[in-house]
């Protein structure tokens, strides 16, 4: 899809970029990062403001992108960080819990409460 954008990889993104979707706005920086091959990534809310289908596409791209790299992922959608090696739970500016997804769920603390509220049936 990048080649079809005005300017391709060099397209300037901003609020005025009304001719592309929110998902495309979020996929373009991921595509740029894939080309860069940087050893470290910082992803801030990479799946915010997108529908579930687009979130799955972004997550697949991020999984490929983050292989063999140190990655810091800032997320409110906990589905984005389920497979992380280490999750730091921050509340009011303080780290209150840490561990992987399974460990944090077993602790039945703040992370588990957030996760269960997001995925309650």
Same domain, 45 and 94: no
Higher pLDDT, 9 or 47: 9
Higher pLDDT, 19 or 64: 64
Average pLDDT for residues 78-103, to the nearest whole number? 92
Same domain, 69 and 99: no
Same domain, 120 and 79: no
| Total tally of structural domains belonging to the chain | 2
Alpha helices in 1-121 (DSSP H): 22-36, 52-66, 101-107, 110-118
Sign of torsion, CA 101 93 13 7?
negative
Q: What is the pLDDT of residue 103?
A: 97
- Distance between CA atoms of residues 51 and 63, nearest Å: 18
Range of the domain at 98: 85-121
pTM for the whole thing? 0.67
Same domain, 110 and 53: no
Q: What is the pLDDT of residue 43?
A: 76
Same domain, 42 and 53: yes
Q: Which two tokens stand for residue 120?
A: 């309650």
Same domain, 75 and 89: no
Instruction: Tell me the CA distances in angstroms from 79 to 16, 92, 100, one per residue in order.
Output: 29, 21, 13
Q: What is the pLDDT of residues 73-83, one digit of tens each?
A: 888 778 778 88
Question: Which CATH number covers residue 59?
Answer: 3.40.50.300
For residue 17, pLDDT beyond 70: no
Q: Which two tokens stand for residue 85?
A: 């090696």
């Amino acid at each position: 899809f990048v080649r079809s954008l005005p300017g391709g990889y060099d397209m300037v993104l901003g609020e005025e970029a009304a001719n592309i979707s929110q998902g495309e706005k979020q996929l373009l920086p991921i595509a740029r990062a894939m080309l860069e091959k940087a050893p470290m990534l910082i992803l801030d809310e990479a799946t915010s403001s997108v529908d579930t289908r687009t979130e799955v596409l972004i997550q697949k791209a991020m999984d490929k992108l983050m292989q063999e790299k140190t990655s810091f992922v800032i997320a409110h959608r906990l589905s984005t960080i389920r497979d992380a090696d280490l999750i730091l739970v921050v509340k009011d500016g303080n780290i209150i819990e840490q561990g992987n997804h399974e460990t944090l769920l077993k602790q039945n603390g703040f992370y588990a409460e957030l996760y269960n509220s997001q995925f309650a049936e």
